[in-house]
C-alpha cells in the first residue's frame, strides 16, 4: 500500500504558545477526522534537546483516562494498520473511532471488538512497543491479532539475561533501550517487525531499532505505527535512504500526520512570568497504605539490578510482554485481568478511584482497572520531567515527583491529579518493592491528599528467583 499523504484532507494549521516557545502544527492527513484536542494537548518539557511535549489524551500515561480509552486507542491504531497497510477494513472501525471522539460507550465497544475472532496477518509478525510510554499501546494493538507475538523494550537492567537489542532514543532524558526476549526465536522467526510508538517526531528512534534488528536478525519488512507522526520531508527521506541502504521496506501509518515548526526559546526555571502549579501544603496529612498481593503464577525467574548494585529478587510477570508473548499467551490475560478487576471492584470504598500503573507496567493494570467499575480513572507514573502550569488547555496542570522505587537515583512523576479529588488510589507494581524504597512515593501521596492508598503487587516475595 502507498505511504504517501492523502490529498483528500486539506492541511489545517494549529498554533500553541508554551510561554515563549511556539509550536505550529500543520495537519496533512487525518483519516478519521479527529479534532486535535481529542488526541493531544501540549506542554513545556524539561529537556534542552526538545523543549516541548505532545501530551496524549488517549494513551493513559500523563492524563487520567477512562481505562477503556487507551485500550480503544490501540484498537484504532490496529484498524488503521489493517486499512492502510493491508487494505482490509475492520467491521468495528466506525464504532471505535466514535467511542474515542465522544468518550461514550467505551466499555461496550471494547467488549465487542475484543470478543470478535482475532485478525490473522499474512505472515508471522512481531509487534514491539517502545518503553516506557508505548508499552501499553503496543500491547493493545497486538491484542487484536492472531499468530503474532509481542515484546516491549525496557530501560531496566536484568543481569541474568543478555539484551538481544540495544539502541538509543537520542532526544530522550532516558536514552538507552534494551530487549530481553526469553527466547531469541522471538526475533529470528517473524517475517515482519511492527514498531509501535505514541508519537514520531523525527523517526530516528525507529530507524535506530531497525538498524539494530537488521544487524542481528535481518528482515525485509518493517512497519512503524504511531498515534501522531510529525516527520518532515527530510525525516521521511531518511526512511527512504535506510530502505535503499538495507534493501528493506519500511511502511508507516498513524492517526494524525503533519509537520511541526518550533520557534522561540524553551521554557526554563527562570522564564519570566512562568509560574508552575503550586503544591498544596498539607504537612499534617498522613496516608497509611494497604497492600494486596496478587500472587500470579506465570513468573519469569530473574532479578533486576539498579545503578547502585541493589537487586530486586522478586520475579517479573511473564504477561507484560517484556520477555515476549505469543497470541496464545495473550489469550490468558483478558480473563485473568477481568477476574482481578472484579475482585478489586468489591474492595473499593469510594466513588472516584484513581488506578496508577508504574513506569513500563501499563497494559495489565490498565486492563484490570477497566473492570473495577464506574468512576475509575487510569494513568501511569512516568520518567518524563515536564513543567506543570495551571492554564486552560495546557497539558500538565500539576505534577508531583518522587524517587523511582526501582532506581532511587531516577526521579519519577505523577501528573494531572487534582488535590483531594480522588477518594482512593490503587497503585499497581509489577513486583514487590521494599518499604524503605517507597518512602519518597508515599510522601507524594500525602501531598495529593488521598485518604486511602492501596498498593497492588503483581508478585509476592514468597516466590524466589532461580
Phi and psi torsions of 126, nearest 5°: -115, 120
**Residue ranges in 87-232 assigned as alpha helix (H):** 93-102, 106-114, 135-142, 185-188, 204-216
Model pLDDT, residue 435 = 87
Estimate the crossing angle of helix 106-114 against helix 68-86, to 10 degrees.
50
Q: pLDDT by residue (tens digit) across 349-405?
A: 999 999 999 999 999 999 999 999 999 999 999 999 999 999 889 999 999 999 999
d(CA 206, CA 226): 11
* Structural contact between residues 193 and 213, judged by C-beta atoms closer than 8 angstroms: yes
Of 175-184, 239-248, 335-344, 433-442, the poorest mean pLDDT is in 175-184
Write the burial class of residue 240 (CB in 10 Å: 0-12 exposed, 13-18 middle, 19+ buried): exposed
pLDDT tens digits, residue range 207-236? 999 999 999 999 999 999 999 999 999 999
CB under 8 Å, gap of 24 or more: what pairs does 239-246 form?
239/203, 239/207, 242/207, 242/210, 242/211, 246/210, 246/211, 246/214, 246/218
Res. 176 pLDDT band, cuts 50 70 90: confident
pLDDT at 282: 55
pTM of the model: 0.93
Of 466 and 78, the one with more pLDDT:
78
φ and ψ at residue 408, rounded to 5 degrees: -65, -20
Q: Tell me: pLDDT of 274 over 80.
A: no
Rounded CA-CA distance 27/15 in Å is 11
Mean pLDDT of all residues in 78-106: 97
Decide: 195 and 254 in contact? Cβ < 8 Å: no
Strands (DSSP E) contained in 82-174 are: 119-129, 145-152, 165-168
DSSP letter (8 states) at residue 23: E
Q: How far apart are the C-alpha atoms of 234 and 238, rounded to whole Å?
A: 6
**DSSP three-state, residue 450:** coil
Percent of the chain with pLDDT over 70: 91
Higher-scoring residue by pLDDT: 140, 270: 140
Buried b / exposed e over 447-466, threshold 16 CB at 10 Å, is bbbbebbbbbbbbeeeeeee
Beta-sheet pairing, 176-179 with 165-168: antiparallel
Q: What mean pLDDT do residues 242-271 have?
A: 91
C-beta separation of 316 from 299 below 8 A: yes
Burial of 84 (0-12, 13-18, 19+ CB in 10 A): buried
pLDDT at 461 over 70: no
- Are the beta carbons of 417 and 449 closer than 8 angstroms? no
Sign of the dihedral through C-alpha 208, 212, 214, 219: negative
Picking from 163, 45, 157, the residue whose alpha carbon sits closest to that of residue 409 is 157
Sketch the domain layout of the chain as residue ranges: 290-457
The mean-pLDDT minimum among 170-184, 258-272, 427-441 falls in 170-184
Report the candidate in 53, 311, 309 with the shortest Cα–Cα distance to residue 198: 53
Up-side HSE of residue 414: CA atoms within 13 Å toward CB?
Answer: 28
The owner of cell 488517549 is 58
Summarised one tens digit per residue, pLDDT across range 26-53 is: 999 999 999 999 999 999 998 877 889 9
What CATH code is assigned to 290-457? 3.40.50
Mean pLDDT, range 270-288, rounded to an integer: 59
pLDDT number for residue 94: 98
What is the rounded average pLDDT for all residues in the chain? 90
Q: What is the pLDDT of residue 174?
A: 46
pLDDT at 453: 95
Mean pLDDT of all residues in 253-279: 77
272 pLDDT exceeds 70?
Answer: no
DSSP E strands: which ranges in 289-434?
290-293, 299-300, 304-305, 311-312, 316-317, 325-326, 353-357, 376-380, 399-404, 407-415, 424-429
Whether the predicted pLDDT of 150 surpasses 50: yes
Amino acid at each position: 500500500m502507498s505511504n504517501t499523504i492523502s490529498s483528500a484532507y486539506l492541511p489545517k494549521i494549529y498554533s500553541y504558545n508554551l510561554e515563549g516557545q511556539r509550536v505550529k502544527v500543520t495537519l496533512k492527513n487525518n483519516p478519521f477526522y479527529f479534532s486535535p484536542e481529542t488526541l493531544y494537548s501540549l506542554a513545556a518539557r524539561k529537556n534542552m534537546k526538545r523543549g516541548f511535549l505532545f501530551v496524549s489524551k488517549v494513551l493513559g500515561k500523563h492524563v487520567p483516562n477512562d481505562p477503556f480509552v487507551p485500550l480503544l486507542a490501540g484498537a484504532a491504531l490496529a484498524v488503521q494498520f489493517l486499512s492502510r497497510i493491508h487494505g482490509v477494513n475492520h467491521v468495528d472501525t466506525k464504532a471505535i473511532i466514535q467511542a474515542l471522539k465522544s468518550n461514550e460507550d467505551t466499555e461496550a465497544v471494547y467488549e465487542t471488538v475484543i470478543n470478535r475472532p482475532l485478525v490473522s496477518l499474512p505472515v508471522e509478525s512481531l509487534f514491539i512497543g517502545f518503553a516506557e510510554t508505548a508499552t501499553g499501546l503496543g500491547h493493545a494493538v497486538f491484542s487484536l491479532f492472531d499468530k503474532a507475538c509481542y515484546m516491549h523494550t525496557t530501560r531496566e537492567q536484568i543481569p541474568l539475561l543478555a539484551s538481544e537489542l540495544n539502541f538509543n532514543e537520542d532526544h530522550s532524558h532516558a536514552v538507552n533501550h534494551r530487549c530481553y526476549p526469553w527466547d531469541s526465536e522471538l526475533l529470528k522467526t517473524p517475517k515482519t517487525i511492527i514498531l509501535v510508538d505514541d508519537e514520531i517526531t523525527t523517526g530516528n528512534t525507529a530507524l535506530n531499532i531497525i538498524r539494530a534488528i537488521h544487524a542481528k536478525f535481518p528482515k525485509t519488512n518493517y512497519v512503524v505505527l504511531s498515534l501522531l507522526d510529525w516527520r518532515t520531508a527530510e525525516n521521511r527521506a531518511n526512511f527512504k535512504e535506510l530502505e535503499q541502504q538495507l534493501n528493506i521496506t519500511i511502511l508507516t501509518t498513524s492517526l494524525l500526520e503533519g509537520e511541526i515548526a518550533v520557534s522561540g526559546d524553551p521554557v526554563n526555571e527562570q522564564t519570566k512570568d512562568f509560574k508552575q502549579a503550586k503544591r498544596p501544603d498539607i504537612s499534617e496529612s498522613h496516608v497509611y497504605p494497604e497492600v494486596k498481593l496478587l500472587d500470579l503464577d506465570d513468573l519469569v525467574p530473574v532479578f533486576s539490578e539498579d545503578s547502585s548494585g541493589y537487586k530486586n529478587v522478586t520475579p517479573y510477570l511473564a504477561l507484560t510482554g517484556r520477555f515476549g508473548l505469543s497470541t496464545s499467551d495473550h489469550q490468558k490475560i483478558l480473563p485473568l485481568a477481568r477476574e482481578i478487576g472484579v475482585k478489586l471492584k468489591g474492595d473499593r470504598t469510594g466513588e472516584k478511584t484513581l488506578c496508577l500503573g508504574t513506569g513500563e507496567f501499563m497494559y495489565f493494570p490498565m486492563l484490570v482497572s477497566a473492570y473495577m467499575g464506574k468512576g475509575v480513572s487510569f494513568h501511569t507514573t512516568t520518567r518524563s520531567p515536564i513543567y506543570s502550569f495551571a492554564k486552560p488547555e495546557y497539558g500538565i496542570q500539576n505534577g508531583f515527583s518522587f524517587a523511582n522505587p526501582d532506581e532511587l537515583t531516577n526521579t519519577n512523576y505523577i501528573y494531572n491529579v487534582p488535590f483531594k479529588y480522588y477518594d482512593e488510589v490503587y497503585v499497581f507494581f509489577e513486583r514487590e518493592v521494599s518499604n524503605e524504597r517507597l518512602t519518597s512515593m508515599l510522601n507524594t501521596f500525602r501531598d495529593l491528599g488521598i485518604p486511602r492508598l492501596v498498593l497492588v503487587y503483581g508478585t509476592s516475595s514468597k516466590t524466589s528467583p532461580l
